[in-house]
Amino acid sequence: MTAAVGVDGSPSQRDDLLRQARDLRVAGQPAEALAVLDRLQALYPRFSRGLHERGHCHVMVGDAAAALEALREAVRLNPSLPAGWDMLEQLHRMRGEVGPAEAAAQRLATLTRLPPQVVAADSLLADGDLAEAETVIRDFLSRRGASAGALRLLARIREASGAADEALALLEGVLESAPDYDAARFDYAMILLQRQRPQAALCEAERLLAGEPARRDYLKLFATACVALGDYEPVIEVYRRLLEGAPALGGETAELRLWRANALKITGRLEEAVADYRAALAARPDYGVAWFSLANLKIHSFTDADIERLQIAAARPDLQAMDQVYLAFALGKALEDRADYQASWRWYGQGNRVRAAIGRYRPDVAEACAARTAKAFDAGLFDNRANWGAPDADPIFVVGLPRSGSTLIEQILASHSLVEGTQELTEIGRYAGELFGRDPDCGLPVRPEAAHQMSADEVRALGERFLAETRIYRREGRPFFIDKMPNNFWHIGLIHLILPRARIIDVRREPMACCFSNLKQLFGTTNQEFTYDGDHIARYYRSYLDLMRHWDEVLPGRVLRVQYEDLVEDLDGGVRRMLEHCGLAFEPACLEFHQTRRSVRTPSSEQVRQPISRDGLAQWRNYEPWLAPLQAALGDALIRYRD
C-alpha cells in the first residue's frame, strides 16, 4: 500500500500519529493519547480513524458525551466505518438511547451485507487513501467480475485522483447497463459540472428530480447547474424551498442563505441579498465567506458592532486558512470605508499573505509561458492561415486584467439591442488547455507551438465548437454576445485563428490603480492567484503589456484598446468608438448602461448599476504610503501602459 504523506512531506506521518495514540491508550495512558490525537486532528481534521480512536480514549476516561461527539463526526466523514457504527450502537444502548442505537445498528447491518472489499475501499476513499482504495476495488472487480456498485466506487476513486474523464467513462458504462442507478447518475452529473458541462449536468439533475422532486441533494445539484449556466432566477426559488426544510441555525442554513444571497445580488435585488447575508451570519456568526460577501457588495457599510464581531472572529486561534482570508478582506473593506487606511492595509495585507501561501502561482512560470506563446504565435502562423476559422461574427471578446473595467464595458455593450451579455466564459481557456497543455502552477499553455500542427478543418471545427458550446448562455436571441473572460488576452492568437471575424476589445487601466484594486479584491476558488502579492501582480501586468504589444505587432488593428480613464472622462466618445469597432450603430441606451437590468456576477456588479464616476480613478492614493514596493516592481509599466 502507498503510505500516507503528511503536510510536512514526511511519509506515514498521519498513520504514525494514529499508531502512537493507539499504543498509549492500550498502555493505559488515555490522556497522553488524546494529546497525540489533538496533533493528529489539527493536521488531518477529516481523518475518520483518528476520530474513532478519540472515541475509544474518551470511553476509557469515562466521557461518553465526548466519545459520542467524536464517533458521530467519524461516521459523518466516513459512513463506511463499521467499527464506528458498532461503537455508536454500544454507547447509545449503555445510555438507554434506543432510537439512535437502532439507527446505528441498521447502518452497521447494511455494511455487513456488502462485500468486505467494497466497504474497505469506500472507507479508504473517505480517508483520502486513494491508491489503497483503488488497489482493493480493482482486485475485487478482477475476482468477482463487473458490478454497478463496484464500478461506481472505482469511478469515485478515479475522480478523486484527478482522472475525471476516466471517471465519466466508467459512470457512462454503469448508467448504460443500469439506467435507474440514481446514485451513479448523481455522481455523473457532479463530474459533468466539474468538467464545465453545465447543460448536460442540468439534464441529469432534471431526470433525478423527476423521480424524487423534493430530494435535497438533487435540488442543490439543479441549482448549481443553473448557476453555472448563469440562470439565477430559478435558483432563488430552489434555495427558498430548501430553507423551508432546514433548521434555523447551523452550517446548512448558513450555506443556503449565502447561496441565495449571491443569486439575489447577481440579479440586482440588493436589499434582499443583504438580508440573506445577515441571516447566514445569524445561523453561523463566524461564517467568514458571508462576512466577506457583505463587504464585497461595495455599497454596504458595517456598523461598529459588526467590526467588533469581525475582529473577535478573526482573532480565533482555530480558524481555517480561508476563513482567515475572508475575515481579513472583510475587515480591510470595513476599515477602508471609515478612512482608516493604515489599519485597512494591515488587514488586506494579512489576507493576501495567507491566500498567497495556500496558492500555487509562480510568476517565473507565467513569464515563461508568455514568452513561449509570443514565439509560437508569430506573424507567419497567421499569414498562412487567414480565414481558416468559423466565419461567424457573433462573439465580442472583452479582455484585459481583472479590475480593469471589463464589467463596465460589458454592461455598456449589453445595453445595445443587438448584443447579449453572458458571463466570464471558460471555453477558450479550456480549449487552450486541451490543445497546448496546462501548467499546474499558473494554468497557462505549456506547448503553444502545437498551434502550428492544426489543420484548416481542425481550426474551423474549434470555432464552430465554441459557437455551439456557448449557445446555452445566449437566452435573448440577439445576433452578438459578449465573452468577458479577462484572461483571454493570453489566447488572442487562438481566438483569431478559430474566429477570425470576432471582435476583440482590450480594456486597460492605469497600472497602480489596477494592481491596487486587485490587491484588495478576493477572487473565488483558485481564480486569479497572481493577485495576492504585489510583486506577482506587477510582473503579471508587465507580461500583459508585453503580450498585448506582441498581438498588436502580429495582428495589427485586430484588437481595440479602450483606456478606462479615457472612457470615464469621455463616455460618449468611448462608447461610439467601441460600437464602431463592433460594427454596431450608436444607441443612446449604451450611455444609460446603469439602467440596464441583467445579471452581473463579477465583483463590480453593483458599481455598473450606477452612473459612471471618477471616484475610483485615484483610490489607490489613499494607500500610497504602503505602495512603494508595488510602484518599484511595475517599473516602466507606469509609463508604457499608454504605448
Segment 614-634 shows an average pLDDT of: 90
Segment 44-70 shows an average pLDDT of: 94
Kindly tell me if the per-residue pLDDT of 2 is higher than 70.
no
Instruction: Tell me the pLDDT band of 10, cut-offs 50, 70 and 90.
Output: very low
Burial 186-203 (b: 16+ CB within 10 A, else e): bbbbbbbbeeebbeebbe
Instruction: Tell me the pLDDT band of 296, cut-offs 50, 70 and 90.
Output: confident
pLDDT in tens, 337-395: 999 999 999 999 999 999 999 988 999 999 999 999 999 999 999 998 988 999 999 99
Kindly tell me if the per-residue pLDDT of 9 is higher than 60.
no
Q: Which domains does the chain have, with CATH numbers?
A: 1-113 (1.25.40.10), 363-640 (3.40.50.300)
Kindly tell me if the per-residue pLDDT of 259 is higher than 50.
yes
Q: Which residue has the higher pLDDT, 195 or 340?
A: 340
Instruction: Tell me the pLDDT band of 317, cut-offs 50, 70 and 90.
Output: confident
CB-side exposure of 69: number of CA atoms within 13 Å? 5
Which stretch of 2-6, 50-54, 512-516 has the lowest confidence by average pLDDT? Answer: 2-6
How many other C-beta atoms can be found within 10 angstroms of the C-beta atom of residue 66? 16
Cβ pair 413, 419 in contact under 8 A = yes
How many other C-beta atoms can be found within 10 angstroms of the C-beta atom of residue 443? 20
Taking alpha carbons only, the member of 528, 545, 532 closest to residue 638 is 545
Segment 618-636 shows an average pLDDT of: 95
Amino acid at 106: Q
Instruction: Tell me the pLDDT band of 616, cut-offs 50, 70 and 90.
Output: low
Segment 152-179 shows an average pLDDT of: 95
Q: What is the DSSP letter of 240?
A: H
Beginning with the edge strand found earlier in the chain, give each strand of the sheet holding 419-423 in spatial order.
419-423, 480-483, 395-400, 503-508, 559-563
Residue 526 has what pLDDT? 73
**Contact residues for 355 (Cβ-Cβ < 8 A; gap 6+):** 325, 522, 532
DSSP states along 358-398: T----HHHHHHHHHHHHHHS-HHHHHTTTT-S-----EEEE
**Contact residues for 389 (Cβ-Cβ < 8 A; gap 6+):** 459, 460, 462, 463, 496, 497, 498, 499, 500
Residue 443 has what pLDDT? 87
Residue 174 has what pLDDT? 96
What is the C-alpha separation between 605 and 598, in angstroms, rounded? 10
Kindly tell me if the per-residue pLDDT of 204 is higher than 50.
yes
SS3 37: helix
Residue 134 has what pLDDT? 96
Which stretch of 115-124, 126-135, 468-477 has the lowest confidence by average pLDDT? Answer: 468-477
Residue 599 has what pLDDT? 53
Q: State the sign of the Cα–Cα–Cα–Cα dihedral 306, 308, 312, 315.
A: positive
Kindly tell me if the per-residue pLDDT of 303 is higher than 80.
yes
Segment 434-449 shows an average pLDDT of: 91
Copy the grid coordinates of residue 579: 460600437
User: Which of 2-6, 134-138, 241-245, 592-596 tops mean pLDDT?
Assistant: 134-138
Copy the grid coordinates of residue 252: 446548512
* Backbone dihedral angles phi then psi of residue 351, each to the nearest 5 degrees: -60, -40
Instruction: Tell me the pLDDT band of 619, cut-offs 50, 70 and 90.
Output: confident
What is the C-alpha separation between 398 and 411, in angstroms, rounded? 11
Residue with the three cell numbers 456498485: 149
SS3 309: helix
Kindly tell me if the per-residue pLDDT of 635 is higher than 90.
yes
Using CA atoms of 362, 364, 368, 374 in order, give the dihedral in degrees to the nearest 10.
90
Number of H helices, E strands in the chain: 32, 5
Kindly tell me if the per-residue pLDDT of 6 is higher than 90.
no
Kindly tell me if the per-residue pLDDT of 245 is higher than 90.
no
Mean pLDDT score of the chain = 91
Residue 11 has what pLDDT? 43
Kindly tell me if the per-residue pLDDT of 236 is higher than 90.
yes
Instruction: Tell me the pLDDT band of 318, cut-offs 50, 70 and 90.
Output: confident
Instruction: Tell me the pLDDT band of 597, cut-offs 50, 70 and 90.
Output: low
